[in-house]
């Protein structure tokens, strides 16, 4: 592995990353990069606005705009819809935060941050793992905000605290898998705007063609077939079963979510690392 730093007044300098970096070295590099990313967030707190404000806006919009009508279809009015949609919002956060990792990663290339990493003898995978780790922390912040707003609009956990933590963990697990897709987009696409546009093309059908915001029973048959194996439906249904308890099946949603998580990670993580290594 080699990297080149060019200076108009100096000869080309090549710094080789140690091909024998072991697990301890990778862990040390990853920890240092996580700390660097967290310090960057502390210096630029506005970068957390999407994680903090988006959950609030989405939750309030869907509860107060659609809650009455969809809640009646559920047989309980707005209160019933709050119980239905909040687990779906927990699931949705995994996809929204995952998109941010791609745009931020692409901007790092254009800002010259990756040029600094090229001159350092560090494990290239550590850069990506640190990025995913910090975004997972942002996901936990976003989910915490969602739950605070959920309580304010009337969500009742009914004592299922273990199920709540399990649902958050499942959302984070799936979100980490989706992040590898957006890391690939961040490396391969020319601009952050392109990554964002591509992200919306992926996110919108998966989120709205799912059981996140409304039951799928009234959807056309072909769309119901899509939602059956849509990972967002699986995650939302599993989160409902974990957070609300009886009456909400878990097995199918959990199986679909774990299958997609394993498949995306096994396929996309090596692709992301390979493309980043070639580019850096």
Minimum mean pLDDT among 5-14, 54-63, 109-118, 183-192: which range? Answer: 5-14
Structural domain contains residue 265: yes
For 112: left if phi > 0, alpha if psi spans -120 to 50, otherwise beta; the answer is left
CA distance 25 to 122: 8
Mean pLDDT of 79-90: 92
Asked if 222 contacts 213 with a C-beta cutoff of 8 angstroms, the reply is no
pLDDT at 13: 36
| pLDDT band at residue 2 using 50, 70 and 90 as cut-offs | very low
Residue range of the domain that includes 72: 24-279
Q: Is residue 200's pLDDT more than 90?
A: no
Average pLDDT, the chain: 83
Where would I find the H helices in the chain?
Answer: 23-43, 49-61, 67-74, 77-110, 113-118, 124-152, 161-188, 192-208, 221-228, 231-244, 251-279
Crossing angle between the packed helical segments 49-61 and 77-110, to the nearest 10 degrees:
150
Please report, to the nearest 10 degrees, the dihedral formed by the alpha carbons of residues 11, 12, 15, 19 taken in order: -140
Structural domain contains residue 14: no
Structural domain contains residue 8: no
Percent of the chain with pLDDT over 90: 36
Structural domain contains residue 6: no
Structural domain contains residue 228: yes
Structural domain contains residue 142: yes
Q: Is residue 31's pLDDT more than 70?
A: yes
pLDDT at 6: 41
Q: Is residue 238's pLDDT more than 90?
A: yes
Structural domain contains residue 30: yes
Using DSSP's 3-state secondary structure scheme, residue 5 falls into: strand
CA distance 271 to 209: 27
CB atoms within 10 A of CB 188: 17
Asked if 19 contacts 277 with a C-beta cutoff of 8 angstroms, the reply is no
Q: Is residue 3's pLDDT more than 70?
A: no
CA distance 155 to 251: 24
Structural domain contains residue 7: no
Longest CA pairwise span in the chain (Å): 74
Q: How many domains does the chain have?
A: 1
pLDDT at 125: 77
Please name which of 197, 221, 242 lies closest in space to residue 88, comparing C-alpha atoms: 242
pLDDT at 173: 94
pLDDT at 4: 41
């Amino acid at each position: 592995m080699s990297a080149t730093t060019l200076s108009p007044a100096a000869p080309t300098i090549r710094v080789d990353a140690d091909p024998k970096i072991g697990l301890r070295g990778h862990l040390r590099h990853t920890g240092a990069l996580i700390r660097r990313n967290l310090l960057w967030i502390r210096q630029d707190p506005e970068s957390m606005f999407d994680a903090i404000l988006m959950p609030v806006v989405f939750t309030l919009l869907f509860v107060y705009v659609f809650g009455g009508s969809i809640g009646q279809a559920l047989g309980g009015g707005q209160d019933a819809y709050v119980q239905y949609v909040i687990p779906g919002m927990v699931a949705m956060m995994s996809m929204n935060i995952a998109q941010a990792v791609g745009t931020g990663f692409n901007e790092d290339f254009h800002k010259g941050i990756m040029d600094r990493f090229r001159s350092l003898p560090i494990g290239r995978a550590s850069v990506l793992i640190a990025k995913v780790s910090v975004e997972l922390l942002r996901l936990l912040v976003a989910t915490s905000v969602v739950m605070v707003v959920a309580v304010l609009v009337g969500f009742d956990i009914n004592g299922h605290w273990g199920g709540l933590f399990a649902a958050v963990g499942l959302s984070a697990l799936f979100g980490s898998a989706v992040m590898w897709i957006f890391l690939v987009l961040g490396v391969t696409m020319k601009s952050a705007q392109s990554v964002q546009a591509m992200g919306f093309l992926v996110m919108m059908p998966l989120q709205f063609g799912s059981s996140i915001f409304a039951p799928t029973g009234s959807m056309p048959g072909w769309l119901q077939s899509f939602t059956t194996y849509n990972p967002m439906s699986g995650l939302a249904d599993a989160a409902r079963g974990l957070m609300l308890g009886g009456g909400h099946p878990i097995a199918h949603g959990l199986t679909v979510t774990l299958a997609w998580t394993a498949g995306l990670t096994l396929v996309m993580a090596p692709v992301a690392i390979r493309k980043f290594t070639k580019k850096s």
